[in-house]
Structures are given as C-alpha cells and as structure tokens.
Amino acid sequence: MMPTTTRAFGAPMTYIQGPGEFNNLEAYSRAFSGKVFFLIDNFLFPDFSRRVEEIYKDTESSCVCEQCRGECSRSEIFRVAELIKKSGAGLVVGVGGGKTIDVAKMAANELSLPYFITPTSASTDAPVSCIAVIYTDSGEHAGVASLKRAAEIVLMDSEIIAKAPLRLFRAGMADALATWFEAQTRERSDTPNNIGKGYRRCKAGMAIAKLSFELLMEDGLKALQALENGVITEAVENIIETNTLLSGLGFQNTGCSVAHAIHAGLAELPQTHSYMHGEKVAFGIVCGFIFENMPKEIVDTVMRFMTAAGLPVTLKDLNVEPTRENAFKIADKVVNRNKTIYAEPLVITVDTVLAAVLAANALGEAYQKGKA
C-alpha cells in the first residue's frame, strides 16, 4: 500500500504523428534553438544524417549530426554531452531506437537542454517516458534513471515507421499489450507508478492503459495486414499511437508487474539476447495469465490475438528449452534480483514463479496446436 494519497501524471509536452512529419523538423526546432544537435542510430547514420542536412540546408537554422555508439552507458552519455557542449547547440534531437533515444534524453538532461525524440520504429514505448535504461559499456543492465524533464516534442513519422521491419512493429504491440494488465495489478496492490519518486495513479493513466488494450484488440491485426501489404491505413496510425504514446503514458503513469519481471528473467538466458524487449514481454503476458489465474474468456481472447499476430507464447519461441532448469533460472532472477514482481499482491516465491513459467509454456503450446 502507498503511504500517501498524492497522485501524479507525467507526459511529453507535445506528441506529433503523421506521414512526412520528419521533414518538418526544422520548422519545429527553430522555436527552441537556431542550432540543433542530432544523435542518430549508428547503422541509420548515413541515410538519416544526409536527410537531416538536406532539411536544414538553406534555412536560418543549423545542425550537427553525431552517431550513437550503441549502448546507453555512462561513458557514452558523457561523450555525447561533451560533444553537445562543444557544438553550442540549444536543442538535442534523438533519432532511432531505444538506446539512442535514451542517450539523447540523458545527455540533454545532464545539460538542462530541451530535447525532441524521433523514433524510426514503433517497437517501444520509451519515446514518451521520463526514464532511461542504463547499461555498462559491455551491454549489461546497470539500472534505470529518472529524468528531470520530458521531451518537448515526440515526433512519429508514419512513413518511416511503416518502412521499418515488421518484427519491430509486432514487438511494440506486445509491449503495449502488457500495459493494461500490469496497470490493473498495480491498482490492486496500490504500488507506486514511475513518476519521480513514485506516486499513486491518476484515473487518466488507467484510462489510457485500458484504451491501449482496446485499440490493439480492434486494430492490431488489421494494422499488421496493412503493413504486410506496404500501405498506411487508419488502423496502422492507431497502432503506432498505441505502441508509442498510449503504452508509454500507460506504463509510466501506472507501473509494470509480472510481464516485465519475466522479461528480466528471460534476459538472464544468453539464448534470448537476440530477441527484442517486446518479444520477451509477450511470453511474460502468458505467464501473468497463469500467475494471476486470469478468467478464461480474457485468456482466450488475448491468446488467440497473440498467436494470430505471430507473437511469442512459448519458451521455444524465444529459443529456450522448456526445462525445469531453465524455468528455475528465470524464476530466480525474477524473485531474487528484480523488484518488479513484488507489485503482485500474491504469494511470490521461486516455486510459484517457476510453476507459472512452465504452465504458461504449456498454455502457449496448446494454443499453437489448436488444442486450447
């Protein structure tokens, strides 16, 4: 139980989404600074740095483009912050995936500068959140940092998102799918959200989390079908917003529980390292159904959706053999080295989590074989 009745809600200042919006960056940025520092994903750098330079050419603004070296580590944040200082830029823009976005957030916060976030896929809800995940230089998880300020603008160009690999879009859907289930758990246990030091949830946060689930059920499969055929429809736009804005505001303002705890446990196994955050969260959702003994009608609706969407619902989908030994490794990390599971108002032991992992795997196999 929370020791306070104080509620809190956090969000970016502005969210903009639509086809071709990347081309409007100079118009948006000039209101904040005439000189802009762009931090761009390493493998995207050649294409996007040329595109940025073309956008800023022959304008009253100027830009500097720098590659992100990969990990959101303290040394990389310091390196980028030093480059921003030397450039004299008054605005930072992060372009790319989660780690690049987090480095841009952290470096801008270190310098107390405004920043924009421009994702190149809808694979994560990180763009709208006020936290960053910190790693060591070698890629090991080192903690989560809370930020002093949110993004001034989160800009989603639908045309860029639609050209990203479909796997990224699916992973974002899985991450968003966990939001409403985890929000309900946090509400039941009355545990803190992810705003600042942690507060109770505003009703707005719960409503947003629920809407993310409703839109996925209504438009998720339609959006995948449209993207498979290379077109952007209203359903695609709805799920881009769901994966990014609704899921991001939902998890930050309500909190995470078992699905993300299982993700952390799966990350302990080297064979899962090639899988995306959302893909591991997907199996965590199935584990949550078992752990919380969810009603059959909800389980059936969501399991049919997940299998139709091609999301992981078994351990083998994540290259993990469904052995008791592997389930123990997952459960041990979840219970003994991760606090997220303790949002659950249930008996939490290695044995109860291990049982949920193995039973979830069996449930996923049953749905894949059409025997559920």
What's the number of domains the chain is made of? Answer: 2
Question: Beta strand 141-146 with 131-135: parallel, antiparallel or unpaired?
Answer: antiparallel
Residue pair 362/285 in contact by the 8 Å Cβ criterion: no
Q: pLDDT confidence of 2, banded at 50, 70, 90?
A: confident
Kindly name the residue from 102, 157, 260, 317 that is annotated as catalytic: 260
Domain membership of residue 3 (yes or no) is no
Domain membership of residue 35 (yes or no) is yes
Residues 90 and 70 in one domain: yes
336-365 mean pLDDT: 96
Give me the pLDDT at residue 98, please.
87
CATH number of the CATH domain containing 72: 3.40.50.1970
Give me the pLDDT at residue 138, please.
77
**Angle at CA 228, nearest 5°, toward 224 and 232?**
75
Residues 174 and 156 in one domain: no
Show the domain range for 297.
Answer: 166-368
CATH number of the CATH domain containing 273: 1.20.1090.10
Give the C-alpha distances (Å, rounded to integers) separating 56 from 26, 60, 148, 273: 6, 8, 29, 38
Nearest CA-CA partner of 126 in 67, 175, 183? 175
The tokens for 126 are: 């990180």
Residues 203 and 249 in one domain: yes
260 catalytic per annotation = yes
Residues 116 and 250 in one domain: no
For the chain, the farthest-separated pair of C-alpha atoms sits apart, in whole angstroms, at: 64
Residue pair 117/102 in contact by the 8 Å Cβ criterion: no
175 catalytic per annotation = yes
Kindly name the residue from 125, 157, 263, 317 that is annotated as catalytic: 263
Residues 119 and 172 in one domain: no
Residues 83 and 150 in one domain: yes
Residues 179 and 323 in one domain: yes
Residue pair 244/128 in contact by the 8 Å Cβ criterion: yes
Give me the pLDDT at residue 141, please.
66
pTM comes to 0.95
Other CB atoms within a 10 A radius of the CB of residue 360 amount to: 25
Give me the sign of the Cα torsion angle 127, 133, 138, 139: negative
Q: For residues 298 and 282, give the distance between their C-alpha atoms in angstroms, rounded to a whole number.
A: 15
Q: For residues 70 and 67, give the distance between their C-alpha atoms in angstroms, rounded to a whole number.
A: 9
Kindly name the residue from 102, 175, 219, 317 that is annotated as catalytic: 175
Residues 306 and 244 in one domain: yes
pLDDT tens, residue by residue, 146-165: 898 899 999 999 999 999 99
Residues 324 and 270 in one domain: yes
Residues 95 and 176 in one domain: no
Percent of the chain with pLDDT over 90: 87
Report whether pLDDT(247) > 80. yes
Q: End of a domain among 115, 146, 163?
A: 163
Query: How many distinct helices (H) and strands (E) make up the chain?
Result: 14, 10
Mean pLDDT of the chain, nearest integer: 95
Q: For residues 158 and 233, give the distance between their C-alpha atoms in angstroms, rounded to a whole number.
A: 10
141 catalytic per annotation = no
Kindly name the residue from 277, 300, 317, 351 that is annotated as catalytic: 277
